[in-house]
Chains A and B, each alone.
Chain A
């Protein structure tokens, strides 16, 4: 039941974030600091959530590191989201297979 309390709070919060500006704001936000702050927020949030969580998520830390490097390179050269995601997965799968082979 506690999980549904969390979910309800999350659902309401995210809905208000998305719907309120759309319904209330008819003009652009003027404050430069606020605009700059809002602009930078997504990059910092996603970066903090990605690292080091990405290298902690895999069975082998090194497979995670390799997937991180591969992901950064692919995203840098403009590969789309879906392809970056599955190639990162494939990198981890193959590397962990190799690591297990060496280990035994």
Chain B
């Protein structure tokens, strides 16, 4: 190895360390938010009969809010394995979009191991902070953030399952809406900016309500309802309102950070004009 390469190695190590540190700092507020939300996820898991370790295991390896919630429903209702796979696919379909978007921002030389590990931690928030940085995605930045936020998510779920038992009913009832509040904060801002999305959200609410209340339809379990309505309504919207290419460069629904999604929308509006 020549002297020059040795120096480059040193610099690479230094930039890695600083990327991990920067990522870790960005991961602190994310982790605190994760803890609160995964706590309410733990309450749902407890109601489905899961143990604290199962909750920890699930959250540590899945890193998904809506996806885990859909999975908890599947476990609670003891639906078949195929239905479980389908509902997991549907509830996490947005990650496929994010993964596609992120693939466009990767250094073509980046190795398979890094790609798999970044994929493993591809959550709404880590995706948001990763694409907010200029240039190629730095996997070490994502690792730094995941180092703090990942355990918060898993521990929060386990604590929710454990302590959910000890909390008074009024507190459990209140905390049970945290997850839905989070979902609303993902779907409502894009609905405000896009009439098709707004109509789609309203229609989804209406049909979901109908499916859960109309006597015959209500016998269908929640997982199946989610799959049928998602595939049906999304396909209908894609047929009636296909999106222009320039509208979709960055899937803004994934970024929970408000500034992020605003920027994306600005980009989209420029594209339209």
Query: Taking each of A43, A56, A71, A97, which has the highest tally of chain B beta carbons within 10 Å of its own beta carbon?
Result: A43
Residues of B within 8 A of A88 (CB): 177-178, 180-181, 184
A-B residue pair count with CB separations less than 8 angstroms? 308
Query: Taking each of A36, A86, A100, which has the highest tally of chain B beta carbons within 10 Å of its own beta carbon?
Result: A36
Nearest A residue to B60, CB-CB: A11
Q: B66 contacts which of A7, A46, A64, A67 (Cβ < 8 Å)? A: A46
A50 to B186, CA, bound (A): 11
Task: Quote the shortest CB–CB distance from B241 to chain A (angstroms).
Answer: 7
Please report B residues at the A interface, Cβ cutoff 8 Å: 32-33, 36-37, 40, 50, 54, 57-58, 61-64, 66-71, 74-75, 78, 81, 84-85, 88-100, 102-104, 106, 108, 112, 115-116, 118-120, 122, 169-171, 173-192, 196-197, 200-201, 204-205, 207-209, 212-213, 222, 225-226, 229-230, 233-235, 237-239, 241-243, 245, 248, 251, 253-254, 256-258
Whether A38 lies near B208 (C-beta < 8 A) is no
Q: B183 contacts which of A50, A67, A86, A96 (Cβ < 8 Å)? A: A50
Main secondary structure of the interface of B (DSSP, over half): helix
Whether A9 lies near B189 (C-beta < 8 A) is no
Please report A residues at the B interface, Cβ cutoff 8 Å: 2-7, 9-11, 13-15, 17-23, 25-26, 28-29, 32-54, 56-60, 63-64, 67-68, 71-72, 74-76, 78-82, 84-93, 96-97, 100
Residues of B within 8 A of A56 (CB): 212
A44 to B187, CA, bound (A): 9
Whether B188 lies near A72 (C-beta < 8 A) is yes
Residues of A within 8 A of B50 (CB): 3
Task: Quote the shortest CB–CB distance from B210 to chain A (angstroms).
Answer: 10
A11 to B92, CA, bound (A): 11
